Structure 1
């Protein structure tokens, strides 16, 4: 995908964001949706302090957290072992809370940075948070688009330009394509900064 100006550019001050206000607003909205998707519905006062400290989910009811019903959320919070349900359950108990919190914090960090007045320049931590959040948003969109294999991802572009799909699919696929291109530019900018 060609852009008149690189969406992200490495500078001495950090990674400069060259997205216009509307593009940044869309990206911030997607990051907010990611944060909401990862919310487990518990208020801070419902989280055991020890659980928060060590990043584990407590088992006050005697049961570890279940695998998410939403396939997109399951992609973000994968099973640690596909062949052993007991090991997968234990892995989820030990890692899910911390993983959710890290992903949510990263999305919030990126959204906060992108909400600053232009010109936006990301420091290294903000750029890496945005890079990880891009991956998470693309995983969710890929699941919604039913991209299961590399061949599915390869055919996305052809299906998008054929225009034979439902409008909602076309909109989601278009966003997925743009995010893919933006992520590639951000990777380049971050790698030049190091």
Structure 2
């Protein structure tokens, strides 16, 4: 029985992607969803150029700082800086949220663009790091959707997945989470060999 290649392999040229076309398409789709989730809905024309340059957000027209996102998954990606001090947390969010959103979106786009190149895909060091960070972000979102709050919840996921007693949508999301976890581990190994 032939063993499948590792999904990511360190080579002299960079990190080789050994995912098939369908797997890459799924990953590109997930990266696109991450990009959309991080979109704050403001047209680029409305973003203050200074704000874009320094990565901080100007107060809104009513002077209110940006609020903690209502979507718990987005709140995991853009966490509060200080849960015990709402004023400090709001200031932290004002100073960091725009830049954090922009970096995460750019990383997802960089990784997606690299994965859509014709095979064989070989990632440069910056592309591999972008994909590695995007894996973390996608897994955070999926983990929130699966209600994984503790290490014990994450460990129990595998058992729940194989028991098959969950709704189909949960099983599909959990399966993707598991696959992404394995792929991320392989990518970490490949990236570490590049240094």
Query: Same fold, TM exceeding 0.5?
Result: yes
Matched, 1:112 2:129: no
Deviation at 1:190, TM superposition (A): 0.2
The equivalent of 2:40 in structure 1 is 40
The equivalent of 1:29 in structure 2 is 29
Q: Distance in 1 between matches of 2:27 and 2:73?
A: 18
TM-score using structure 1 length = 0.98
Q: Distance in 1 between matches of 2:60 and 2:81?
A: 22
Structure 1 runs (4+) greater than 3 angstroms displaced:
none
SS class of match (1:10)? strand
Q: Distance in 1 between matches of 2:26 and 2:8?
A: 16
- Does the Cα contact within 8 Å between 2:38 and 2:74 map onto a contact in 1? yes
Structure 1, unaligned runs of 5 or more: none
The equivalent of 2:50 in structure 1 is 50
Q: Distance in 2 between matches of 1:151 and 1:6?
A: 27
Mapping of 1:135-174 within 5 angstroms? 135-174=136-175
Deviation at 1:157, TM superposition (A): 0.1
1:143-180, CA deviations, whole angstroms, 9 ceiling, x for partnerless residues?
00000000000000000000000000000000000000
The equivalent of 1:87 in structure 2 is 88
Deviation at 1:74, TM superposition (A): 0.0
TM-score using structure 2 length = 0.98
Matched, 1:63 2:45: no
SS class of match (1:28)? helix
Q: Distance in 2 between matches of 1:93 and 1:15?
A: 36
Deviation at 1:60, TM superposition (A): 4.0
1:55-113, CA deviations, whole angstroms, 9 ceiling, x for partnerless residues?
01011421110100000000000000011111100000000000000000000000000
Aligned residues: 192
- Does the Cα contact within 8 Å between 2:60 and 2:66 map onto a contact in 1? no
The equivalent of 1:20 in structure 2 is 20
Q: Distance in 1 between matches of 2:69 and 2:60?
A: 19
SS class of match (2:89)? helix
1:101-149, CA deviations, whole angstroms, 9 ceiling, x for partnerless residues?
0000000000000000000000000000000000000000000000000
